[in-house]
A = this chain, B = another copy of it.
Amino acid sequence: MGQSDRPTLADVAAAAGVSVSTASLAFSGAGPVAASTRDRVLAAAAELGYTGPNPIARSLRRGRSGVIAVVLGAELASAFSDPIHTGTLDGVARELGERGLGLLLVRSDHFGDVPTLVREGVMDAAIIAGLSDLADPVLDALRARGVPFVRVDAGPQDVAGVGIDDAAGIVGLVEHLRGLGHSRIAVLSLPLRHRDATGLVDPRSLGPIAFTPTANRWAGVRESGLVPVAAAEASSSVVEEGRAAARLLLERDDRPTAILAFSDLLAGGAVLAARELGLRVPQDVSVAGFDGLELPWLAPDRLTTAVQGLVEKGRLTARAAAALADGESSPLVRLPVVLRVGTTTGPAPA
């Protein structure tokens, strides 16, 4: 492709003894072409090694590239290692692939400036994952370019996007724990702000929350009427931080009987922390997570969690982006989550 010696449609047309327009028609199938002519064109193409119209030229003419960008905000510095992100990305990739749309992957380090690709990359629409701030410069750049976008884990303030019903999921988990007789419940929160560290926080005065999922889940806590006996914030959604934060909660004098973690990785870490402290799960302490991951290494335990359909979320997001690329509008969708009771929650100890 390019200034190389690859044959063009003009070459094929010349070889077949027809005009370029006819050759084009023969390939695209749009328009009346005699069968004999088409065969001649295809034969000439095969002979010359012409593998089809140059996609760039086609895009230019059509005014569409067929490419959807996925911008991964690296707020967590680990977009690729977080199973939540990769699960969603998988769904996006499947859906776009099936539609014959390209997926331009863009990392946004959030260190320097807006990635060049956001400014200059070829795209008909964009999917924003992991950037919570509505005023993010990446979004400004896209708006300036006139590129429509949808956001994954969209907040209520978004116009278009796909999110999950975080609040309802949390409420379901709280009710589950309450039904088991728990009254001293601690919250193990996802990060509240950029660059915060793992540590205890006051659940009654959290301050502004920079990340949409975190905010949504705390909203669920409030909605459920739960007043946590304590709360800890993990600096990122990884097992290690979950364990560290859970230790802080479990070593307090007024040890909670249940930990409600905002992600399954954090919950997994909490289970490990409990085990290390000689606490039995769930007899001494119950642990609930969020997301619905399978953590095989937790066996024989299985997390109680609120399951979100990651791949489905990705597919819906991709569909929304495709609609935007087509000039259609796309609503704010909120997917349900369902409670899955595992072995890590049980009756509150007497």
A107 close to B (CB within 8 Å) = yes
Q: Find out whether the CB atom of A243 lies under 8 angstroms from the CB atom of B296.
A: yes
Q: Write the A286-307 contact mask toward B (1 if CB under 8 angstroms, else 0).
A: 0000000001111110000000
Q: Which of A90-98, A158-166, A215-223 contacts B (4 or more CB under 8 A)?
A: A90-98
A240 to chain B: which residues have CB within 8 Å?
A: 296
Q: Find out whether the CB atom of A122 lies under 8 angstroms from the CB atom of B122.
A: yes
Copies of this chain in its oligomeric complex: 2
A1 close to B (CB within 8 Å) = yes
Q: Write the A33-59 contact mask toward B (1 if CB under 8 angstroms, else 0).
A: 000000000000000010110111101
Q: Find out whether the CB atom of B238 lies under 8 angstroms from the CB atom of A296.
A: yes
Q: Which of A13-21, A80-88, A277-285, A337-345 contacts B (4 or more CB under 8 A)?
A: A80-88
Q: Find out whether the CB atom of B1 lies under 8 angstroms from the CB atom of A63.
A: yes
Q: For residue A268, which residue of chain B has the nearest CB?
A: B297
Complex-state Cα separation, A304 to B243, whole angstroms: 22
Contact of A87 among B80, B100, B146 (CB under 8 A): B80
From 158 to 183 in chain A, residues with beta carbon under 8 angstroms from any chain B beta carbon are: none
Complex-state Cα separation, A238 to B3, whole angstroms: 45
Q: Find out whether the CB atom of A121 lies under 8 angstroms from the CB atom of B55.
A: yes
Distance in Å: Cβ of A285 to nearest Cβ of chain B: 18
Beyond A80-B87, A86-B81, A107-B93, whether A52 also contacts B122 by CB under 8 A is no
A239 to chain B: which residues have CB within 8 Å?
A: 296-297
Q: Find out whether the CB atom of B93 lies under 8 angstroms from the CB atom of A105.
A: yes
* Chain A residues within CB distance 8 Å of chain B: 1-4, 6, 49, 51-52, 54-57, 59-60, 62-65, 67, 70, 79-81, 83, 86-87, 89-90, 93-94, 97, 100, 102-107, 109, 115-117, 119-124, 144-147, 238-240, 243, 268-269, 272, 276, 295-300
10 contacts between A and B (CB under 8 A): A1-B123, A2-B62, A3-B63, A56-B59, A60-B60, A102-B104, A103-B104, A105-B105, A122-B122, A268-B297
